[in-house]
Structure 1
Amino acid sequence: MRAHSLLTTGLLAAAMAITPLTFQNTNLNVVGATAAHASEIKVIVNDEVVTSYDIARRSAFLKLQRRNGNLRQLAIDELTDDALKRSAIKRAGIRIPDSQVDAAFANFAKGNKLSAQQMGKILDQAGVTSKHFKEFIRLQIGWGQTVRMRSQRNSLMSEQDVVAKMLEQGGQKPTSTEYLLQQVIFVIPQDKRSSLLKRRRTEAANMRGRVSGCESTQQLATQIRDVTVRDLGRVLELSLPERWEKDVKGLKEGQTTRVKDTERGVEFLVVCRARAVSDDRVAQLEFSTQALDDAGGDLGKQYLDELRKSARIQKR
């Protein structure tokens, strides 16, 4: 199992605690009325404030999850951790696009046999609000990516460790696929996203159908307005970005990924070349990934503990 799968298997595990049954028999008005009038600062985490309104929304969320205990204190504890995680995500330079959050929100609603609109109405009436739940989703995705990035950076084995591991396995270096990639971006300005998204998806799909290799993408792009082609260079399968990993794996030269909505607009990747490689870099990544697998889900907890120790937390 790849290391990031362990870090993201439970990506929305906390959110998934809300079952269809929980949405039933819930007093939807009391919590919402309370939250609407609360706005006092209760906790300051570094430079981020947690208000009584935030606490009321999270308390309502915990109630929908049927959590036990002092829900207000649980809410404060969770929101404090959330602030620490957000700062770490920001420092890592990770930004989760609205399109990815909206897709996760819709999938969750579908899993509860609801439309996104129906679930949004229930969340709003319960005092959780759709906005709070979507930000919760955004945080889970961003935190998973942050922990994975940090773990990979800190866990690369030394040359001696790699040699020792290879000797354990009979001296054989692992093999991986190396991809030479191009990225085709159909740019959409943020203020025009809602009006242009559908059209740009169609344009991207049409161009993708005409691409036969990396030699043709630049010329095809010049025929369409606001299209950027980037050469991403060589990328090992083990180092593929999580967002594109499943789409790229297994593709051959000249093939493309499916069209995907991103924060920049609409994109797809073109495989210029795909070849099997076996070298020291592959061995280092492969064996380091195995070490991360052994560490499992403790990585996020360890990092959060470090963040707490160095944080400035004031309670009012």
Structure 2
Amino acid sequence: MMKKLVKLGLVTVMTFYTVFAQANLKIVDRVVALVDSDVVLASELVRRTNSIIQQIKERKQNVPELEKLKEQVLERLIVESLQLQMAKRVGVRISDTELDATLTRIAGENQLSLDEFRKQVIAEGNTWPLFREDLRNEIMISRVRNGVVSRRIQISDKEIDNLLVQINQEGESRTQYSLGHILLPLAESATPEEIAKVRATAENLVMDLRGGANFQEYAITYSAGENALSGGSLGWRSLSQLPSLFADSVRSLKTGDVTDPLRSGSGLHILKLFETKGGFESHSVMQTHVRHILITPDLITDEKAALDKINLVRQRILDGEKFEDLAIEFSDDKGTAALGGDLKWSDPGTFVPEFNEVMNSLAINELSQPVKTEFGWHIIEVLGRRDKDQTEEKKRETAYRILQKRKFEEEAQLWLRELKDQAYIRIVDEK
């Protein structure tokens, strides 16, 4: 490792040129930060900074002061390095096959072939190998973060019930808010002098923002929040999706308003309300009450014998024998055979496509022809259909997701702070 650090630290490793904030700078590659057993190189800092600058310009925003932007990008690279190192320690790996499948999916979402997508990436000034590795790292970071943070989250029925009360109080058309967020971090051990200094900075920012300063540019320059480099946008959130500290303040905001600094365990927060819109609607689905008998081919019963057997069972039903009796006697679906083949009331998309297609085409009490799926041969009978109001179930599901997301964001910030506190990090002085 020491050999690696010495080698990377030499200013003669390599030389390259880059356009950096519209100035031609000669960059000699070197280490700009030591992060546990990894390093951050000047070349990567320049590349990522240029990428952020390009994104800011595409959003038609002003590029902030270069040194401030570099500090933000370096902080992001350090945090990414810590997460990647953990991912590798716990065995997270993304194979080329999985990476190619992800790239193909992304290309398809953009209505492009993989080759067209590759050409577009290159046309935008990126190299394909670096783009692939950036995506691989992004997936690895996401996996390790989701795995570690999710295990730290506990959600009780009581919490869901309490949130449901809030959701119901807000009404079916509860308001959603498009918010911007700036975080000025404070350590738990911060001294009164440090707190006063950060609060003074926050109050000055609020004054500027209320005076018309561009929120997105200030977020990019000053915020330590996860969304800082995208202008601090939190996207659309209902009050129930916000921490209580934020929700209490947002309730009283009008479009364009900026909050006073809000203190939490992470530091001081500044919010701006961009837009509002209304939201929660009733939710219903068409459920189907269905039953089936399954014959599965095996070492004794080949495909033709299985088809012959299901046809025989079907004919016996048509001749007047009871469906449920024959299901008990013949069905290879042991989970439903004892129930007479009853699959009970099912939501759309519950079963495999071939089964769903035939089921949806049947009239009530109509017996299907034999249906082939990956499980074997079925005969299907629809016993009823109903329009099921699932608004309350949907609300409960929504409440769980809200709590999970809220706690995930809080726990992710704490986890990243712990990672940094436990790591050896040294910024290499450029002078």
TM bucket (normalised to shorter chain) is 0.3 to 0.5
TM-score normalised over the length of structure 2 = 0.34
Q: Structure 1 or 2: larger helix share? A: 1
> If the length of structure 1 is used for normalisation, what is the TM-score?
0.44
Higher strand share: 2
Which structure has the larger Rg over C-alpha atoms?
2
Ranked by relative contact order (alpha carbons within 8 Å, sequence separation 6 or more), the top structure is 1
